[in-house]
Amino acid sequence: MKLKPLFDKVVVKKTEEKEQTVGGIFLPTAAQEKQEVAVVVAVGEGGVIDGKDVKMVVGVGDKVLYSKYAGSTFKIDGEEVTIIKQSDILAIVEE
Q: What is the pLDDT of residues 34-93, one digit of tens each?
A: 568 999 999 999 998 889 999 999 999 999 999 988 999 999 999 999 999 999 999 999
Q: What is the pLDDT of residues 3-37, one digit of tens each?
A: 999 999 999 999 875 555 556 676 555 544 556 89
- Contact between 1 and 32 under an 8 Å Cβ cutoff? The reply is no
**Residue 15, pLDDT score:** 85
- Nearest in space to 84 (alpha carbons), one of 74, 72, 76: 72
- Longest Cα–Cα distance in the chain: 52
Residues in the chain: 95
DSSP string, 55-66: -----TT-EEEE
Burial class (CB in 10 A: 0-12, 13-18, 19+), 66: buried
**Residue 36, pLDDT score:** 83
CATH assignment, 9-16+31-92 = 2.30.33.40
